[in-house]
Amino acid sequence: KLPPQLQRHYRHTPGPSLSSLHTSTAPPAATFRLMQWNVLAQALGAHADNFVMCPKEALCWDTRRFRILEEILVHQPDIVCLQEVDHFSLLERVLGSQGYEGFFVPKPDSPCIYVPENSGPDGCALFYRTAKFKLIEQHSRILEVWRVQSNQVALLVTLRERQSQREFTVLTTHLKAKQGALLASLRNEQGKDLLEFLEQHRGGRPAVLCGDLNAEPSEPVYATLTQAPSLALSSAYATVNNGEEPPYSTWKIRGNGESKHNIDYVLYTSEGSSVLQVLGSLDHPSEEALGPGRAPSLAYPSDHFSLVCDFALPELSDDAQ
Ligand code: NDP
Ligand code: CA
């Protein structure tokens, strides 16, 4: 009854290939695949978002849960960073059976709990493959704005890749939604808080900072995160696409019109001893593939597309770890 999943295409980073990352005597660089995805909270999608072009059955949980799991499992990520998770226990059970372990941090006052028949607050979740990584540390944070707690959260883990013994940190978040100058400056403050949180815990290790930042590249928070003097973060999708961010990471039609924005990112440390190399990424579905109803739809369970990137960890050197 369901149409096939939307077609996605993998794009390799122009320039250096994996083989050029190591010398012939050194072991191959360790690689990992990371998925970043705002899955669309069930409570919000079904009762708050007003997706007027989406068939009702595409928004019911019995349909969506399989499509969400399918999207995660088909791409075989080693690390999965999710936002708007309001069914963590199902994900934990299913992904647990597939070799992942995970964490969840709810938003302090999630809009989901105001929806009738909700399944609890939404929040950020992070899963990693236990066969590939050993967990070193895990932290969560309620993001602060001008020293006051906001309603947005972040989740951080430091992992050790078992074969290479290389360690790195992954941080995922979902920044404050909606447009306007005040909210853009609020997101910018949340971005500064994220950087402090990351610097507090990464201890000079390579790092990935990903999430639904709810901000186009023109917003201050994008520059705050990608041009911080203390930490060189690059955007993986821009690296793979010759420096250009994609035109959209979310594309939906609500009662008040069409909304098409690039607001989801995978940022990574790109300089010095903590350099990560991005090897490629999964393109977002084309306009043609999405069709006039955009997303979500029977062919795709969220209004945001998953971002999938492959990374290589740096060679171990005396001063690197
Ligand atoms: P945000 O502004 O960050 O938005 C929360 C969620 O709403 C996000 O997941 C966002 O999705 C989604 N969203 C954004 N735009 C729309 C839209 N046009 N239609 C539907 N959903 C949208 O909110 P906060 O986390 O700051 O929380 C909202 C506050 O509102 C809470 O503190 C809660 O107390 C209050 N609230 C109260 C309700 C009530 O009935 N009393 C009902 C709802 C909220 P995305 O990131 O994908 O854009
Ligand atoms: Ca949403």
Q: Give CA 231 to chain center in angstroms.
A: 19
Nearest protein Cα to ligand 1, atom 30: 111
Atom of ligand 1 nearest to the CA of 152: 25
Cα(233)–Cα(79) distance, rounded to whole angstroms?
Answer: 19
Those residues whose C-beta lies under 8 Å from the C-beta of residue 220, and which sit 6 or more positions away, are 184, 185, 187, 188, 191
Q: How far away, in angstroms, is 301 Cα from ligand 1 center?
A: 19
User: Which ligand is located closest to the Cα atom of residue 182?
Assistant: 1
CA of 93 from ligand 1 middle (Å) equals 27
What does the alpha-carbon distance between residue 165 and residue 15 come to, in Å, rounded to a whole number? 27
Dmax (CA) of the chain: 61
Residue ID of nearest Cα to ligand 1 atom 43: 111
Distance CA 85, CA 83 (A): 5
What number does the ligand 1 atom closest to the CA of 108 have? 32
Tens of pLDDT along 175-234? Answer: 999 999 999 999 999 999 999 999 999 999 999 999 999 999 999 999 999 999 989 899
Please write the tens of the pLDDT for every residue from 132-186. 999 999 999 999 999 999 999 999 999 999 999 999 999 999 999 999 999 999 9
Q: How far is CA 100 from CA 7, 68, 97, 264, 281, in A?
A: 25, 16, 7, 23, 21
Of the pLDDT bands very low, low, confident and very high (cuts 50, 70, 90), residue 321 is: very low
pLDDT at 15 (0 to 100): 78
The yes/no answer to whether this complex scores an ipTM above 0.85 is yes
The answer, yes or no, to whether residue 275 has pLDDT greater than 50, is yes
| Pocket flag, ligand 1, residue 223 (CB < 6 Å) | no
Residue 315 pLDDT class (50, 70, 90 cuts): confident
End-to-end CA distance of the chain: 52
Q: What is the pLDDT of residues 101-140, one digit of tens each?
A: 999 999 999 999 999 989 999 999 999 999 999 999 999 9
Whether 48 lines ligand 1, by a CB cut-off of 6 Å, is yes
Burial class (CB in 10 A: 0-12, 13-18, 19+), 247: exposed
pLDDT tens profile 24-59: 455 557 999 999 999 999 999 999 999 999 999 999
pLDDT at 22 over 80: no
Confidence of residue 17 (pLDDT cuts 50, 70, 90): low
**Domains within the chain, CATH numbers bracketed:** 10-19+30-312 (3.60.10.10)
Which residue CA neighbors atom 10 of ligand 1 most closely? 177
- Alpha-carbon span 315 to 29, nearest angstrom: 6
